[in-house]
Amino acid sequence: MKKIEHIGIAVKDLQAANELYAKLLQTESYKSEKVKSEGVGTSFFKTGESKIELLAATSEDSAVAKFLAKRGEGIHHIAFEVDDIKAEMKRLKAEGFELISKRPKKGADNKLVAFLHPKSANGVLVELCEEIKDGEEYIPIGDEVWEDL
């Protein structure tokens, strides 16, 4: 794990939260993106070296919608930057952590992402993220590309 890449905050209204965080951090969001596969709209802020990701549900059966219904708005996950997501997933699985998905997925902000189940990390949803390097073509991830970990 190289560093905390960002902190994810679940919000009900992305537009309203964008305005609030722009005031709080005194900077505008530098990126907004929908991740269709996850049913979320995201918005990113930079403050110094750190990033905040706001997440709002775009579909009612998304994980974020369920989180909001159960726990309300608030800190949703902590994301750690890694060099090699697949190697980290293997390492953590061997250490007894429960991975939510077997393979990394394309997440927001040009990243490959994977999550650890909160029950294996003291109630915290942990995201691993690896930057997709410039010029590196994103390959859709399927069984043909990644063998099971």
- Closest CB to Zn ion among 8 and 41? 8
For Zn ion, which residue of 9, 64, 79, 85 counts as binding (CB under 5 A)? Answer: 79
8 counts as binding Zn ion under rule CB under 5 A: yes
114 counts as binding Zn ion under rule CB under 5 A: no
- Closest CB to Zn ion among 46 and 148? 46
Least distance from Zn ion to the Cβ atom of residue 37, Å: 14
Tell me how far apart the alpha carbons of residues 74 and 68 are, in angstroms, rounded to a whole number.
8
53 counts as binding Zn ion under rule CB under 5 A: yes
Buried-exposed string 57-67: b where 16+ CB fall within 10 A, e elsewhere: bbeeebbbbeb
Nearest to 126 by CA among 8, 17, 31, 18: 8
Give me the residue label for tokens 């750190």: 50
41 counts as binding Zn ion under rule CB under 5 A: no
Least distance from Zn ion to the Cβ atom of residue 147, Å: 25
Distances in whole angstroms, Cα of residue 16 to Cα of each of 19, 28, 89, 107, 113: 5, 13, 35, 23, 26
Which parts of this chain interact with Zn ion (CB under 5 A)?
8, 53, 79, 127
